[in-house]
Structure 1
């Protein structure tokens, strides 16, 4: 089933706002700001980036580039590059009535150029340099080839090479399990975020603090969250972890980006678009 741009934009913006309502240790959320950013910055970013992300007929690169440009104009900092990189293929799949794997297989050189332009505009922290397909160099013809180069050190890049497997194997099952426990929507979102935190080292933490620190954060999450019952609304316990990480400058932003993408994918599926095919990624 194909979805109209208006439905895609509404689903995207709803996913962005729902993620902000959830207590996500280390990230910006309704319970606490952090990292020189506030919830209002992300709310504005969601609103101004939605039209470009869902623009009918536009390619993936143009969607990401224009959404990042709108965000930078509105809030003056990178709040959503990772979100847009994950959500743009999902939006395209919903518009075309296909799967994200098919979208990735059909990317063109213009998509690589648009994404490279978007990354340069956003200038994400800890980006560093690469021996091949560096974003400071001209974009390659194949965006997937560039993502393959970055995949070992960046989970979002890896999504472009494995058909968004993390979404299917981690995020969507965590969301379904949380709903089976009758958790409130915001706590379902927290459950998704915590699942990503514990499943793999956060790429954003690794870029800024190194791979060892990222793995240590993952281990800290596993230890701190063992036995946690979200039905009890453990605000105090999660806020303690949140405060400790923020004091140390730890921002597990990749986990938050995947959380938004999970909610967006679920919303698209609820509207009738099956964009993430388990058979295609397993």
Structure 2
């Protein structure tokens, strides 16, 4: 089956990035409150300058990530979207080629590894630390990307996505989006619903890198307790903003939850456009 045109992929990617910024996302940067020394404008610019590279015709996953990261750092002077790029690049490559996501993930090569590792070094994400095996900061050729992701999968949700065929998007994000739509919600509340699903169900890897895995799990539990029973149909801005303030005052940024929110919206958009991301034509708006 033919894939999607690069222009369509770039448009859907930008739309996912911007939609994520328009929603209240407790603890993270959004249109209603900045935080963590970052502004919404930085993310808007990042989406714009990274889109052509992420959707570049014929590019491998590593090249998409590396070039988009370089464009982002040049434009805004900091890492605003490494996690987004790592998640969205395989989705973009699969959509362009008209193949299942697993085909792309199973075909990652040395060039992909070099590109991804170069992007990670350039972004220098906070709390990255050192690893005993397949260390991104180590000298010499990059290790096989699949092996490096498998090594990190136990401590990083984005790495885990590479070895589970993006299971969290299929099992957490897309079901939350479908449930929100079934309740009659529309953007930006559907986006908030996706973010809350990740925030309350999956310990955030960004928090874990900065504060440790125990604090990440505690933050998940705290958010789940504080937001339990929240009905987004009532537009509970006060409750969401209260949790937003608590997390930001504590220095807790669920950045990985936000990254997965963008990727979920992107995957949904690609599926709606007809990308066969599961290896077959998508039968609905929520098929991977």
TM-score band w.r.t. shorter chain: over 0.9
Task: Report the Cα offset of residue 65 of structure 1.
Answer: 0.2
Whether the aligned pair in 1 keeps the contact of 2:134 and 2:143 (CA below 8 Å) is: no
**1:248 corresponds to which residue?**
250
Q: Deviations over 1:7-26 (max 9, x none)?
A: 00000000000000000000
Give the gaps of 5 or more residues in structure 1. Answer: none
Q: TM-score scaled to structure 1, two decimals?
A: 0.97
Q: Distance in 2 between matches of 1:153 and 1:37?
A: 25
Q: Report if aligned partners of 2:204, 2:254 keep a CA contact under 8 Å in 1.
A: yes
User: Which residue of structure 1 aligns with residue 24 of structure 2?
Assistant: 23
Does structure 1 residue 205 correspond to structure 2 residue 203? no
Q: Is the 8 Å Cα contact of residues 168 and 276 (structure 1) preserved in structure 2?
A: no
Relative to its length, the structure with more helix (as a share) is: 1
Root-mean-square deviation (CA, aligned residues, Å) is 1.2
Gaps of 5+ in 2: 281-287
Q: Is the 8 A contact 2:117 2:142 kept in 1?
A: no
Q: Map of 1:1-282 to 2, 5 A cutoff?
A: 1-137=2-138, 138-276=140-278
**Aligned pairs, number:** 279
Give runs of ≥4 in structure 1 deviating > 4 Å. Answer: none
Q: For residues 64-102 of structure 1, what are the alpha-carbon distances to aligned partners after superposition, in whole Å with 9 as ceiling and x for unaligned? A: 000000000000000000000000000000000011111
Instruction: Give the distance between the partners of 1:230 and 1:277, measured in 2 at CA.
Output: 34
Deviates more, 1:254-263 or 1:267-276: 267-276
Normalised to the residue count of structure 2, the TM-score between the two structures is: 0.95
1:139 Cα offset (Å): 4.2
